[in-house]
Structure 1
Amino acid sequence: RRAGTLISRWNRWLGVIVFLLAAWGILAFFTGGANLPNSLGGSFGRKIIDYNGNEFYESLRVLALVIIGVILAAPRPSFRAMKSFFLWVDDRLKRPPARHRPEKEKAPGPAGRLSHPLTPARDKPPLPRVMEAPLVPPEVVRSQKRLEELAEKAAALRPGVAEKPPEKTQPRQELRQVADDVWKKYGQSPNLVVVDGWRLPPPDILDVSPEVQFSEADNVQRANLIEETLASYGVDTKVVQINAGPTVTQFGVEPGWDRKFREVKERDRDGNVRVRMEEVSKTRVKVERINSLSNDLALALAAPTIRIEAPVPGKSFVGVEVPNTTSDMVSLRGVVETSSFQKMLAKTKMALALGKGAGGEAIAADLTKMPHLLVAGATGSGKTVCLNTVICCLLMHNTPNEVRFILVDPKRVEMTQYNSIPHLATPVIVDTTKALAALRWLSQEMDQRYQKLAAAGARHIEGFNKNKPSAEKLPYLVLVIDELADLMMAGSDEVETNLCRLAQLARATGIHLVVATQRPSVDVVTGLIKANFPTRISFAVTSQVDSRTI
């Protein structure tokens, strides 16, 4: 550091010397009048700029001295300015010639937005240029061609119908055909809900997974084994409740009493001595004693591992969770049709079905109360299944006028099947550059929504949308990112800044973030991101450090 300081000071002094030489050369261009027939710079100044009397080359010498002095005095700003200049020239050379647009098609520029900050509620901010034509993976195009070929063959095989040349169908007709095929396959439900002209899909289209019936005798046997194992270590307990879940069974263990006795010798009428045990004290068994015997319980039950929840929230017993021999599949329909989810759905349209708990109870949550969700887990642990569940829950109970999605899928294969749904604000983004542009666009949208809320005197989106027609309502915007680590590698500073700004301010405007990552390390899930994502779902991770990070 000291050597660098000395070098910078030496460069500045050299720059000052070069500036003095340039000034001396500039004075050599001027004469002193009748009193001084020679130039103001004298003979030394003439030697600096002298080039056989050619004034053009002499001026270039002075200009070169000035440039050298600037570079020596301030090297870093000089190189940054040169780099910006060359990048600007390269951009001008590569940019195609702008097409002439009529006046009515010109979009308002930044000046127009500043002069009219309060736009009408139905106007939306324009999408960035990189999002106008998003990349569609080739597998989607191939599947569409395959569907067109099958439709042509089916039309040729119909009896009594004359062959017609194939015509190009419109995208809306194709979507209607896909919807008709779905209704034919699963059957159209008579109890369809129509909202603003949109027919919401019924739960009948979801698959029903067969439920595995666990043997009650096995659970009773394991409950007796738990009581005997704890009693062998001097811990008095009793299993008061058994809750069979999809992957684990929870045994409710109620702590007993520690009793102390003493011997009392008494003589009967015949003079014989009899010994009687009298209770001296009685204290409750401490929960820590049950926790310390978790490994012994796992050994006795022949289980790989057990989890002890001490105590169970809202209950007066300790929960001992033992893995089942066979796991049960939890279907989305099985959770959606439960009473807990229906109660949540009656309160809010942004209800999410997250699965079932250890005791088999359905778990539902409200996205507006979260308000942002961070999902982490190793490869194959179920992150993408969780994201698909979140998206499907919102699709089944909301119209495109109520919820819009921005899906970011760097893997290119997980979310591309959603490209045909009308809820998308833009087709599925698979390019990192377009993902960064989407984050910038969301920040601009958030600012414009706050301007609309301020103009309407509303504190949040629910108050703004109240008593308004559907055309003037602001839809919820849900950003789903399948892999955060890929975006952080592309531009960590910009991604972290935009995510934290949206997480801090976007809740009142109806913008929610659902972010997933399979590498929950500190460089991906930074402290700022953790602080602004209070709701987190953690699947199985590879190390204890990753578990603590999430």
Structure 2
Amino acid sequence: MILHRLKDLRNDVVSVLWLSLSLFLGLSLYSYRAADPSWNSLGLNSKPLNWCGYLGSFSADFLYQFFGMSSWVFVVFLFFLSYQVLRSHQSTKTKKQIWLVLLLVASSALAELYFSHLKYYSGHVGVGGTIGSFLSVTLKKALNFYGATLFLTTFLAIGLLTITDWTLPGLGKKISTVLSFLGKTLWEGALRLVRGWHPLRSMAKRSLPKLPKRAHIPTIFNDDPEPFTHREPVVSMADDEDLWEEPTSEDIEEEAPRRRRRVQLKKKVQRKIANWKLPEIGMLEDPPASRYRVDQSEVNNKSKILVDKLSQFSVTGEVMGAKPGPAVTMFEFKPKADVKISKITELADDLSLALSSESVRIIAPIPGRDVVGIETSNANRETVYLKDIIAHEQFWNDDVKLPMALGREANGSPKVVDLRRMPHLLVAGTTGSGKSVFVVCALTGLLFRHSPKTLRLILIDPKQVDLSTFNDIPHLLMPTICEPKKAVSALKWAVKEMEKRYRSMSKFGARGLEAFNEKVADFDKDKIAQHEAYNQELDDQKRHNETYYYTPQPYIVIVVEEFGDLMAVDKANVEQLVVRLAQMARASGIHLILAMQSPRKDVVTGLIKTNIPGRISFKVASKMDSRIILDESGAERLLARGDMLFLAPGYAKPTRHHGPWVTESEIASIMDYWAEQGEPEYDQSAMNMTKGSGVSFADELGGEGGVEEYDERYDEILAWAASMKEVSASLIQRKFRIGYPRAARLIETMEREGVIGPANGSKPRQVLVNSFEDRQP
């Protein structure tokens, strides 16, 4: 009898041990944190947050790494073994314990075979772990998918019967009992619901207040006035109306094979300008019906990992808010008073590792706030479509004259900026960062708002690829320029055009292009004819520098796709021309967009940076490049494909945006639409200057310059020389305030044409003609 009692006591102890082990492992697995000390992170100096301490942290990490989420099968069967020993008062056999381990291996392999795409704890834990992954891959190679499924299912069934001591008839009876109970419960519940539906409905009508038609559920911690979850209007255009108004409903139409949404604009916009019709937004493809949303659990989990990881480095605080966006989620972390900000900025790489994030960028602090911004990449990124941004009412605001579709902000709201107010833009980004796509989207957006009557373009594309699709549109002032030397001439023409516009505005008392266009738009035919006759008289007298405009003038946007190539060919002239345009061209309606791959110091010089405050940086190669373009680091941590930092004029810190995407077929349809309305009408003076090559800009200012064959002031100087008896380079230099090298080249040209005689030592040369027409052809 004593032996019998000792045997029962032993079985009770074994049962309690099995139960304790089951509870210990269950609590350890449930409270698992990826940042806790483990086999992969030996941070013994930091305190684990696991409910079972260091042992629980290491045990949970071991099970999750080897068996994944299938480790919970082990916990369940340990609990079952404890119950079985307690009920039968018999200790478990070694055979059952071995089968328990084999059952765990088989379940992890089967789970990995079907659900390998599922990841937990920010991607640290899979469903089957290392063993399950290895076994499922091996069996799939040997037996294919269905053979591996049959093998593992058979193995599981045998293991289950061995551990539980069930028979097949008994197992079938248990399954049928469970199914019968569930079916009966569901049927009775449905009957009770039907019987109580009408009384419940009438009671709800009497007691519950009316809810608004559309309740807003804010994103976690999101206090932004324009939340991420708002829907933008979509544009659909009518063909035969100059003005159109869109309906206010937001229809969802289904197109095979995927659902798409149609946008509608709640605003009247002008579609016809003079003889030109603006393109329909329907030419752009409809975006998908639903936008990607960051999972709430992902945000909560990342915020916990963030706090845990920072606490390991003695950086304590709390997450005050989180703003999910298309590509990144920004967490607002408020450190405690004794934490130095510099200590947080040094942990970007550690946080990136802990969060399994492609990149982490730290804003310390957020301007005007008492929190630090920590931006982490989302597991899945949302594509920002150009149609969504162009369809937004910001793009059609009457105050925005040159709208640029910047994309979406970090919180998901659309962003449109006015190039006229910037008034120039520097864009930098490495290959694959999205720089060229952004430039194309910016130009495409301008073509939705402007006809050739209100906007003209000068496109400079040394790569001969990115801007070639715009070759046939009527907005071009000259063909797309691919040679850097011709690009210098085009920039010089822009300076001349700027000076002429300033003369025109000065003559009519206007302070800007908009005011000038309003004044001259009221001129009648007689007044226009009077100004035309006066300008013709100035041309006849070779006084080209005194002519002016007396009709409305369009905006001019100059786009340089690879600014570094221009600076490499003729840095001195290009820099002086760009700086002068940047300093003065704003009021005259001329604007620059300079794009480059590498913002080196010899490309983005101090003068250029000072005069072009608007800057956009996509992903760059180094911190140095980021500091050159943005005056601070951070752009080197951006993602590829459209992720950007935008530094607006007057702001100290850049803001993060995700640029829009447009397909080649969409661009082609818009370009074809404009090409069908008319061929490009190139400006003759611009064509002459790019064909012939003007003098260097330094010479025009009276300095030393480069070598060019043609001089646009040659006819003027020749007419003056014909009225003289003798001329010399020094005399021309003083008379017309030009550099000596330029004057010497003019003397050589006159000698070739027979205007003056040969050199006679240091004496002036004799003039051989009496009038401008007497020169040799």
Please point out which of 254, 258, 276 is paired with 1:198.
Answer: 276
Specify the alignment match of 2:144 in structure 1. Answer: none
Specify the alignment match of 2:498 in structure 1. Answer: 446
Please point out which of 443, 451, 455 is paired with 1:399.
Answer: 451
Secondary structure of the structure 2 residue equivalent to 1:394: helix
Structure-2 separation of matches of 1:289 and 1:483: 38
* 1:261-272 aligned within 5 A: none
Q: 1:302/1:489 Cα in 2 relative to 1: closer, same or farther (>3 Å)?
A: closer
Q: 1:199/1:208 Cα in 2 relative to 1: closer, same or farther (>3 Å)?
A: same
1:218 equivalent to 2:298? Answer yes
Q: 1:407/1:294 Cα in 2 relative to 1: closer, same or farther (>3 Å)?
A: closer
Please point out which of 381, 384, 387 is paired with 1:333.
Answer: 387
Q: 1:297/1:409 Cα in 2 relative to 1: closer, same or farther (>3 Å)?
A: closer
* 1:2-81 aligned within 5 A: none
**Alpha-carbon RMSD:** 2.9
Ranges in structure 1 where 5+ consecutive residues have no aligned partner: 1-186, 257-282
| C-alpha contact 2:401 2:420 (8 A) present in aligned 1 | no
Structure-2 separation of matches of 1:534 and 1:292: 29
Structure-2 separation of matches of 1:195 and 1:549: 41
| C-alpha contact 2:389 2:407 (8 A) present in aligned 1 | yes
Structure-2 separation of matches of 1:348 and 1:450: 23
* 1:48-447 aligned within 5 A: 193-210=271-288, 211-255=291-335, 287-288=341-342, 290-338=344-392, 340-342=394-396, 345-447=397-499
| C-alpha contact 1:247 1:323 (8 A) present in aligned 2 | yes
Q: Offset of 1:455 from its aligned partner?
A: 0.3
Ranges in structure 2 where 5+ consecutive residues have no aligned partner: 1-261, 523-549, 630-777
Q: Offset of 1:515 from its aligned partner?
A: 1.0
| C-alpha contact 1:250 1:320 (8 A) present in aligned 2 | yes
Structure-2 separation of matches of 1:416 and 1:522: 29
Q: 1:357/1:450 Cα in 2 relative to 1: closer, same or farther (>3 Å)?
A: same
| C-alpha contact 2:462 2:565 (8 A) present in aligned 1 | yes
| C-alpha contact 1:341 1:362 (8 A) present in aligned 2 | no
Structure-2 separation of matches of 1:216 and 1:455: 62
Specify the alignment match of 1:506 in structure 2. Answer: 585
Q: Offset of 1:468 from its aligned partner?
A: 4.5
What amino acid is the match of 1:392?
A: T
Structure-2 separation of matches of 1:478 and 1:323: 34
Specify the alignment match of 1:44 in structure 2. Answer: none
Structure-2 separation of matches of 1:495 and 1:230: 49
Specify the alignment match of 1:476 in structure 2. Answer: 555
Structure-2 separation of matches of 1:402 and 1:221: 52
Structure-2 separation of matches of 1:287 and 1:433: 49
Structure-1 separation of matches of 2:479 and 2:313: 62
What amino acid is the match of 1:332?
A: L
Q: Offset of 1:362 from its aligned partner?
A: 2.4
Structure-2 separation of matches of 1:254 and 1:202: 47
Give the TM-score, by structure 2 length.
0.41
| C-alpha contact 1:209 1:329 (8 A) present in aligned 2 | no
Structure-2 separation of matches of 1:317 and 1:338: 31
* More RCO (CA 8 Å, sep 6+): 1
Secondary structure of the structure 2 residue equivalent to 1:347: coil
What amino acid is the match of 1:202?
A: E
Please point out which of 560, 569, 594 is paired with 1:490.
Answer: 569
Q: 1:213/1:536 Cα in 2 relative to 1: closer, same or farther (>3 Å)?
A: same
Q: Offset of 1:233 from its aligned partner?
A: 4.9
Q: Deviation string for 1:63-97 (max 9, x for gaps)?
A: xxxxxxxxxxxxxxxxxxxxxxxxxxxxxxxxxxx
Specify the alignment match of 1:120 in structure 2. Answer: none
| C-alpha contact 2:272 2:278 (8 A) present in aligned 1 | yes
Structure-2 separation of matches of 1:512 and 1:398: 15
Q: Offset of 1:246 from its aligned partner?
A: 1.7
What amino acid is the match of 1:196?
A: A
Q: Offset of 1:478 from its aligned partner?
A: 0.7
Question: How many residue pairs end up in the alignment?
Answer: 338
| C-alpha contact 1:351 1:393 (8 A) present in aligned 2 | yes
Give 1 or 2: higher strand fraction: 1
Specify the alignment match of 2:700 in structure 1. Answer: none
Secondary structure of the structure 1 residue equivalent to 2:564: helix
Deviating more after overlay: 482-491 vs 366-375: 482-491
* Identity rate, percent: 40
Structure-2 separation of matches of 1:532 and 1:481: 17
Q: 1:194/1:236 Cα in 2 relative to 1: closer, same or farther (>3 Å)?
A: same
| C-alpha contact 1:377 1:538 (8 A) present in aligned 2 | yes
Deviating more after overlay: 349-358 vs 237-246: 237-246
Deviating more after overlay: 309-318 vs 484-493: 309-318
Please point out which of 515, 522, 545 is paired with 2:594.
Answer: 515
Structure-2 separation of matches of 1:492 and 1:296: 42
Q: Offset of 1:197 from its aligned partner?
A: 3.3
Specify the alignment match of 1:95 in structure 2. Answer: none
Structure-2 separation of matches of 1:460 and 1:294: 47
What amino acid is the match of 1:253?
A: F
| C-alpha contact 1:349 1:398 (8 A) present in aligned 2 | no
What amino acid is the match of 1:336?
A: I
Secondary structure of the structure 2 residue equivalent to 1:472: coil
Specify the alignment match of 1:141 in structure 2. Answer: none
Secondary structure of the structure 1 residue equivalent to 2:501: helix
Deviating more after overlay: 466-475 vs 447-456: 466-475
What amino acid is the match of 2:437?
A: V
Secondary structure of the structure 2 residue equivalent to 1:250: strand
Q: 1:253/1:375 Cα in 2 relative to 1: closer, same or farther (>3 Å)?
A: same
Q: Offset of 1:509 from its aligned partner?
A: 0.7
Q: Offset of 1:341 from its aligned partner?
A: 4.2
Q: 1:293/1:488 Cα in 2 relative to 1: closer, same or farther (>3 Å)?
A: closer
Specify the alignment match of 1:543 in structure 2. Answer: 622
Secondary structure of the structure 2 residue equivalent to 1:437: helix
Q: Deviation string for 1:253-275 (max 9, x for gaps)?
A: 2345xxxxxxxxxxxxxxxxxxx
Q: Offset of 1:240 from its aligned partner?
A: 3.1
What amino acid is the match of 1:302?
A: S
Structure-2 separation of matches of 1:288 and 1:515: 34
Q: Offset of 1:464 from its aligned partner?
A: 0.9
Structure-2 separation of matches of 1:293 and 1:435: 45
Q: Offset of 1:359 from its aligned partner?
A: 2.4
Structure-2 separation of matches of 1:477 and 1:230: 51
Secondary structure of the structure 2 residue equivalent to 1:443: helix
Secondary structure of the structure 2 residue equivalent to 1:346: coil
What amino acid is the match of 1:247?
A: A
What amino acid is the match of 2:554?
A: P
